[in-house]
């Protein structure tokens, strides 16, 4: 039986390397990827890879660093910190966020289900400002657009 933590990490490592063939090999065909921050629920390898390529286009140098790793049965939990500079446009479900040329550092958590040595599902949560919506404009504020009515969660 494959180690669930190593399987979960393999998908993130493939993203870090921007190796889309390798990324495809880490996922089950009909897997799901649920981005809580954007409200996107992606189904199937093609949608997942397309979304990851979109993040990579907006943040070509983006990489996740592993902070913590936990497993129970077929589930791994990864604590991550995503870093990068937004030098490209970011396509979101509600519009495009123009390049801000500003760095980001986002703590995140992924709950990853593994089946047959591949990633079956990922639920990912990042720390975003609290806004009334998940629109492109509220996401843009996170990447350095002018001040907004969004507030950061208390730490």
The 10s digit of each residue's pLDDT in 63-81 is 999 999 999 999 999 999 9
0.75 exceeded by pTM: yes
Q: All domains of the chain, ordered by start, with CATH?
A: 4-130 (3.10.450.50)
Provide the b/e sequence for 75-85 (b: ≥16 CB within 10 Å): ebbbebebebb
d(CA 25, CA 141): 35
- Positions of the chain with pLDDT lower than 50, given as ranges: 1, 129-136, 145-155
HSE, CB side, 13 Å, CA atoms: give it for residue 30. Answer: 0
Report the C-alpha gap between 150 and 36 in whole angstroms.
Answer: 17
CA atoms within 13 A on the CB side of 75: 7
Q: What's the pLDDT score for residue 140?
A: 53
H or E stretch including 141?
Answer: helix 136-142
């Amino acid at each position: 039986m494959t180690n669930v933590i190593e399987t979960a990490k393999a998908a993130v490592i493939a993203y870090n390397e921007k190796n889309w063939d390798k990324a495809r090999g880490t996922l089950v065909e009909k897997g799901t990827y649920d981005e809580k921050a954007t409200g996107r629920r992606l189904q199937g390898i093609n949608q997942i890879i397309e979304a990851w390529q979109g993040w990579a286009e907006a943040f070509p140098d983006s990489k996740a660093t592993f902070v913590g790793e936990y497993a129970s049965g077929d589930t791994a939990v990864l604590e991550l910190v995503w870093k990068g500079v937004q030098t490209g446009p970011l396509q979101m479900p509600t519009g495009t966020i123009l390049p801000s040329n500003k760095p980001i550092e986002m703590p995140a958590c992924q709950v990853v289900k593994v089946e047959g040595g591949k990633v079956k599902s990922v639920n990912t949560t990042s720390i975003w400002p609290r806004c009334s919506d998940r629109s492109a404009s509220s996401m843009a504020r996170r990447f350095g657009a002018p001040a907004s009515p969004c507030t950061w969660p208390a730490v």
